A = this chain, B = another copy of it.
Amino acid sequence: MRIGELSRRTGVPVPTIKYYVREGLLPAGQLTSPNQASYGEAHERRLRLIRALLDVGGLKVSAIGEVLAAVDDPGKSVHNVLGEATERITPTYGGGEPDEEAEAARRAVADLIERRGWRVGADYASAQALTAALAALGRAGHGAFAEVLDDYADAAERVARTDVDFVRRRVGLDDLVESVVVATVLGDAMLTSLRRMAHVDASARVFGAEGGSEGDSGRGFEGGSEKDSE
């Protein structure tokens, strides 16, 4: 198909498609004349993947380029693609102030890794991101929240097992490596959304029944009051 048709099918404007080609996110079409290129199903799919990573996954174009380069490298193993995808999409933190809180957070993360027996280095982007979050909690006077760490880690292990099982069942499929990226990036968005939905539900059950004033209406969340006690 021509680029106009590709644009129509995916809703991505032609100049944007050309931009993705220039940035190496999308392979160039097959030239059918000096000024005309032809695009196929593979282009359409790749384009939809780019939009998913961009719109839902919240990745930057540069990060998508790096992640897709890992996907397209035939020498890459699943384990390495997963690793690269994870490193690329995890924001890096300058480490913040080298204060007590940072030191305590580093120790807490190292202890967690050892306690769980995780094969993860404390220098990985994800471990550093967790360290930054814990240090920020401490500095804001909410260090007590770190007590949830092991429950969160249980939940994270459960999700990781599910993801790896999903990817594993796809061994042999040609979209195996791509599915690793999808599971990593879009899985974040799905889990975050589900956590918030579950929050609303848990909050409605616990706080929705614990009395209090009817003063504020706001967004409502069941619109119910918390006037009646359990």
Contacts and interface: CB of A to CB of B under 8 A. Distances in A.
Nearest to A119: B204
Interface string A187-230: 11111111111111111111110001101101111101111011
Contacts of A226: 77-79, 171
A103 interface: no
A197 B77 contact: no
Q: At the interface, is chain A mostly helix, strand, loop or mixed?
A: helix
A202 B161 contact: yes
A19 to B, nearest CB: 19
Kindly name the residue among A79, A175, A193 whose own CB sees the greatest number of chain B CB atoms within 10 A.
Answer: A79
A96 B48 CA distance: 12
- Chain A: number of interface residues, binned into ranges: 35 or more
Interface in A89-145: 90-91, 93, 96-97, 113, 116-120, 124-127, 129-130, 132-134, 136-137, 139-142, 144-145
A196 B137 contact: no
Contacts of A70: 218
A39 to B, nearest CB: 16
A142 B182 CA distance: 8
A158 B161 contact: no
Contacts of A119: 200-201, 204-205, 208, 222
16 contacts: A56-B93, A83-B219, A119-B208, A124-B200, A126-B193, A145-B187, A149-B194, A152-B159, A152-B187, A152-B194, A153-B198, A155-B158, A160-B199, A171-B230, A188-B195, A191-B192
Interface of A: 11, 45, 48-49, 51-52, 55-56, 58, 70, 73, 75-80, 82-84, 86-87, 90-91, 93, 96-97, 113, 116-120, 124-127, 129-130, 132-134, 136-137, 139-142, 144-145, 147-149, 151-164, 166, 168, 171-172, 175, 178-179, 182-184, 186-208, 212-213, 215-216, 218-222, 224-227, 229-230
